[in-house]
Amino acid sequence: MASGPGSFMGAWAALPLELIAGTILFAHGFPKIAHAGEFAERAMGGIPLFLAYLVIASEVGGGLLLLAGLLVRFSAFSHILVMGTAVVGVHWAAGLMGQGGFEFPLVLLGMALALTLLGPDPLSVDENLLGNLNRSRDTAFRRNGVDLREPLVKSAGMLLVLAGLTLIAGAALPPVRTYLGVPEGPAALVIAVIAGVASIVSGAALFAAKSWAYAPAFVVARLYLAASTLLLLYVKFALRGLVALLVSLAILASLRRARRGA
């Protein structure tokens, strides 16, 4: 990533764009999964079912990728295609404003364009983990390694352990589950338990300065950030979501700061 104040601010500008656009796209796409046939019949006067599934995959999967900071440019580009089609092919005749206007998909199109240009944010999986896969084991790679003895890293590990215990308690105890906003149903409970165990294991290993722990701990923390954003924008859980979001950001910032050369 280029250096300088402008590039620094531009990189961080990608973070709110990823979180807000990812949440909106996921929220719009998720209900369509159960009604893909109806969506295919309504969209543009009728489209093939496989195209409807591609649109739904772009909204749901692409929204989750943006929230996770994973394959950000790929996801943003897919949304350019979807939202560009929505603006021109669906809403253009209704004009910019008013019933059926294209102002909303135009905003999402602009956000997708911005993310395609900006790339991933400094707390993304792309920037902190995938970038290292393309580096050889030379001086630059060693300079960008991670010092697991940093107090901030150990603090992040403890927070991950506590978050994991909270998730497992939420899966086991109905009052805690309701307070955390964990949905009812076996699938949601299984996901909560798996996420909780992954958080505890990666957090404990991080605290113990195990060399393999940084990557899974970072991924878990970023997924917490994604879930916290969804919780924050669900009005009933806004305050709890805000607290969880701030804790997730603190964990990610601590892990990033521990990277030498970051």
Checking if the pLDDT of 142 tops 50, the result is: no
Tens of pLDDT, residue by residue over 39-54, are: 888 877 788 888 889 8
Q: Please provide the average confidence, as pLDDT, over all residues in the chain.
A: 86
Q: How many domains does one find in the chain? A: 2
Q: According to the model, what pLDDT value does residue 25 have?
A: 93
Q: Is residue 169 part of a domain?
A: yes
Checking if the pLDDT of 249 tops 90, the result is: yes
Q: Are residues 155 and 87 in the same domain?
A: no
Q: Are residues 150 and 240 in the same domain?
A: yes
Q: Are residues 149 and 114 in the same domain?
A: no
- Give the range of the structural domain holding residue 234, as residue numbers without chain letter: 135-257
Q: Is residue 97 part of a domain?
A: yes
In order, the DSSP letters of the chain are ---SHHHHHHHHHHHHHHHHHHHHHHHHHGGGGGGHHHHHHHGGG---HHHHHHHHHHHHHHHHHHHHTSSHHHHHHHHHHHHHHIIIIIIGGG-SSSTT-SHHHHHHHHHHHHHHHH---TTSHIIIIIHHHTS-SSHHHHHT-B-TTSHHHHHHHHHHHHHHHHHHHHHH-HHHHHHHTPPSSHHHHHHHHHHHHHHHHHHHHHHTT-GGGHHHHHHHHHHHHHHHHHHHTSGGGHHHHHHHHHHHHHHHHHHHHTBTT-
